[in-house]
Structure 1
Amino acid sequence: DFKRVSSIYLASDKRGLNMLEREYDIRRKHGLPVGFLDAGTLFSTHHIEGPGALKNREAAQMDCYKAATGLLKHHIKKSGLSLFSHTEIVEYKERRGGYALLTGDGMTIRCKYVVVAAGFEAGKFLPRRVMNLISTYALVSQPVEPSQLWPERCLIWETAQPYFYMRTTLDNRMMIGGEDVEFRNPERRDRLLRWKIRRLEKKFKGFYPEIPFVVDMAWCGTFSSTDDGLPYIGPWPGRKRMFFALGYGGNGITFSMIAAQLIKNKLKGIKDERENVFGFER
């Protein structure tokens, strides 16, 4: 379910426009593909009223669950990967030459290296908290005719905080979301769902009032973010055999690839300057 589509990073206000102008200059400086849409061009090409936007044609969307399970199945078949799902690690001990991990079923796993890629649940492996928990909300519409969807079916994300985003699916539904708030407990997060549904519907109508949006499914969840918006990748200082691949901030697909490259280089003894960008000591 991988499909190449364009993306629009939309300025929500004048402050957002100033930020996008700086972002545009930086991307151009480093040779990254990007275009700038002023208010007139934004409306004529995408039917959105706004002060401006960045447009990137080198973007894509995919089904993340299918992608993750597909990669696992590929390596189980090709590389003999052993996968033990629903296996909780309740305790770990550092030992000479590696680690011993104790499972909830009382089994012990001995290994030379450990890579922790458990998102916000990685806290039990960290000496201190490094992330903030955020509650987020999303809706999916009933299918519509393809002709009713917005131009290019592009991915749209705005600069406002809390943000709003929208995309389409292969079966001609619309997925919208955002309205993030600080996580306190699951009960409070879930109680806000009905109110967040109304707010997200209203935001969508502000962009495309002519497109029929009938909610088919709605849900909420929790993810992690960091103060600087970057992931944490690499070993915790003093733990040379325990690596972390924590793609906090909602960009896990991109950061997971960086993490794979960086940790592989570390294991092979190859110097990687990105350690300074994504490490715990930054």
Structure 2
Amino acid sequence: MKIAHIASQRGISMIELLVALAISSFLLLGISQIYLDNQRNHLFQQSQSTNLEGSRFITLVLDEYLGKAGYRRDPAQSLESAFPQKGENADCMAFAKGAVIVPTKDALGICLRYQPLVSGEADCQGDASKAFDDSKPFKAAPDSALITLAIKYAPNAELHQGSITCKNLNAAAPGTMEILPGVADMRLQFGFGSKDMYEKKLTEGSGRFADASSWTANSGPIRAVRYSILLASQENQRSGASSIYDQWIAKSSVAAKSRLTANDKNRIYHVSSSTQTIRNLMP
């Protein structure tokens, strides 16, 4: 009877197993690091993209409304006739006769007014302005159809939850509409004009611009607006320093610096700024 020969077999030794585990661990660490780096880069790009989109949007919106400030359907109508005097209220400082821009009561925004081009023109809340006879192209709009907007910065302790809001003070049911979220801070400066509404020159030294908080009724009409907006992402999206944040902090007030420093939390920042001359303030 022939007996089959069975070859001896050996398993993996402990040393070989440990070497294999060590090599696998290094591979897993490398793959994990690549994944984490890609995820961090994706979040950074996403946050920066959101900031850039918000920057473009708010610049378009603010520049559009600043371009409308002081608009009259009848070019021959005087500013004093088109924009009567209006006392201050909970939202805005008082408008002098012929004035079309004043700061908000808290100096965190601007109040502006203009005549609608057509009856029922939509405001920043999406509501229609009061109806009037717009059958003739150069017929002045009545005072009842005047649109007065309060556009301001609404701060929040969570920087990415601050926002720019808008309110139509002449609407049937005024309500505050959020235009843009993700706003950490905002600065406003005005170029003051001569007290004579038809004197186009800016007052001496006004080319330097002055902070909105320094404006008073005796400063004269506002001829130009300069704004800077600091947009912020959610926290823990940045690893390292931010030159944008450092430059903004360097020029911030004590109160703003304290608020921003306490709530930085490694956010990603972007600044949007523009200077607009109020083009409709002319004879």
Is the TM-score greater than 0.5? no
Normalised TM-score (structure 1): 0.24
Normalised TM-score (structure 2): 0.24
